[in-house]
């Protein structure tokens, strides 16, 4: 029998870290991060914000390139990176 994890406690808006997101007309819950990243191209350093969501793979599977709304801001889904646990990191770009 395969191991199945219940992720609902992690993606709880009230007792957890999740926020409500709207994707293809339905509400889902995911953890939003606006990380600050620094990269160097040649000798020139650049930095900026890097918006991502962490959520259930089942909520994001098949939604590459779609628009998702997080805290009244629209983002395009640039990449969906499964982590092997049933969850994924979703890379976003503000639109």
Q: Which residue shows structure tokens 């990269």?
A: 39
Count of residues in the chain: 95
- Give tens-digit pLDDT for 65-88: 999 999 999 999 999 999 988 899
Q: Does domain 19-94 have CATH number 2.60.40?
A: no
Contact 85, 6 (CB under 8 A): no
pLDDT band at 2 (very low <50, low <70, confident <90, very high): low
From CA 65, how far away is CA 24, in angstroms rounded? 11
- Report pLDDT for 1: 47
CA terminus-to-terminus distance, the chain: 43
């Amino acid at each position: 029998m395969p191991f199945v994890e219940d992720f609902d406690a992690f993606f709880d808006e009230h007792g957890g870290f999740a926020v409500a997101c709207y994707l293809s007309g339905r509400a889902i819950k995911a953890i939003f991060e606006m990380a600050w990243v620094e990269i160097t191209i040649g000798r020139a350093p650049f930095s900026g914000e890097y918006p991502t969501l962490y959520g259930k793979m089942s909520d994001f599977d098949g939604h590459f390139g779609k628009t998702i709304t997080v805290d009244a801001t629209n983002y395009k889904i640039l990449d969906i990176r499964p982590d092997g646990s049933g969850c994924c990191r979703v890379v976003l770009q503000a639109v």
